[in-house]
Amino acid sequence: MTEASPLPKAFPGLVDSHCHLDFPEFDGKMAEVREEMRENGATHALCISVNLEGFPKVLGLAESYDNFFASVGVHPDHEDRAAVDPARLAELARHPRVVAIGETGLDYYRVSGDLEWQRERFRAHIRAARGCGKPLVIHTRKAAEDTLRIMREEGAAEVGGVMHCFTESQEVAEAAVSLGFHISFSGIVTFKNAGALKEVACKVPLDRLLVETDSPYLAPVPHRGKTNRPGLVRHVAEEVARLRGMPLEDLARATTDNFVRLFEPPKWS
């Protein structure tokens, strides 16, 4: 399916720390998706919830497959502006296959107008995470300053988590790391015009680094423009390893160790 070269026998395996396998693009395609993961040494994936209506399907994936895990949350772009109840989120997150709260955060690019509802929703997620002791998956777009401010105000450092699909500056990365957060790079880091981001990917401490696909979006080079799949996380990892001048195996080992330490997934095999 891909032109990727064979992996060494003892390849430690990669985790796609953020994908949306419940989206209709993947209906009836799970065998294919999982086969491509195997071919590319992608051993595990975290399936990310974007709203509570879709959560049962996300959880179903994590219940059906030992190497998939789930998060629970309502995306900042989700149109339904009804308040999110932190107690309800924390309750859903008590399920053993749910390893994180999110994705949550702020998006001032996709949504405009008075966004107080978005900030309130973000606060509710941080409270839920603190309530159940599970880490946060944070999305931020054109809203870094407010994102960091709310993380500080709500005590997000208590649970930590990940700034997913990171596209911000070195300064923002450092602020997030100092709050105990991890930085996850997506296919964007493989794009030719991502010069500044490539520099950030060199500087994030190795023990705070994660990789992801954000499937079905943002397929990495050389698959740019196609439907993204978790197996393609290998291209993201290869690019980050190349930028940092380290072997892919070492990058895989480090990011997988980070994933396990952060999310403490059940029955890791």
Residue whose CB is less far from Zn ion, 130 or 139: 139
Q: Which stretch binds Zn ion (CB under 5 A): 28-36, 174-182, 211-219, 222-230?
A: 211-219
Which residue's CB atom is positioned nearest to Zn ion?
Answer: 139
CB burial of 64-75 (b: ≥16 within 10 Å; e: otherwise) equals ebebbbbbbbbb
Residue whose CB is less far from Zn ion, 12 or 135: 135
Helix axes 233-244, 195-203, angle to 10 degrees: 70
Cβ atoms of 228 and 36 within 8 Å: the answer is no
Contacts with 145 (C-beta within 8 Å, 6 or more apart), sequence order: none
Binding mask 160-189 for Zn ion (x = CB under 5 A): ------------------------------
Minimum distance of Zn ion from residue 18's CB (angstroms): 6
Return the closest-CA partner of residue 163 out of 141, 132, 184.
Answer: 184
Provide the pairing of β-strand 136-141 with 181-185: unpaired
Q: Which stretch binds Zn ion (CB under 5 A): 35-43, 56-64, 209-217, 255-263?
A: 209-217
The one-letter code for the residue type at 190 is: T
Q: Which stretch binds Zn ion (CB under 5 A): 61-69, 89-97, 122-130, 207-215?
A: 207-215
Report in angstroms the alpha-carbon separations of 250 from 3, 24, 36, 167, 209: 22, 34, 21, 23, 12
Minimum distance of Zn ion from residue 217's CB (angstroms): 7
Residue whose CB is less far from Zn ion, 17 or 190: 17
Residue whose CB is less far from Zn ion, 36 or 214: 214
Minimum distance of Zn ion from residue 11's CB (angstroms): 26
Q: Which stretch binds Zn ion (CB under 5 A): 24-32, 168-176, 210-218, 256-264?
A: 210-218
Identify any residues that bridge with 39 across adjacent strands, giving them in sequence order. none
Return the closest-CA partner of residue 188 out of 41, 9, 5, 18.
Answer: 18
How many residues of this chain bind Zn ion (CB under 5 A)?
Answer: 2
What residues numbered 213-232 form the site for Zn ion, per CB under 5 A?
214
Minimum distance of Zn ion from residue 137's CB (angstroms): 8
Minimum distance of Zn ion from residue 186's CB (angstroms): 9
Minimum distance of Zn ion from residue 139's CB (angstroms): 3
Binding mask 128-147 for Zn ion (x = CB under 5 A): -----------x--------
Residue whose CB is less far from Zn ion, 19 or 254: 19
Q: Please give the residue ranges that form the binding site for Zn ion (CB under 5 A).
A: 139, 214
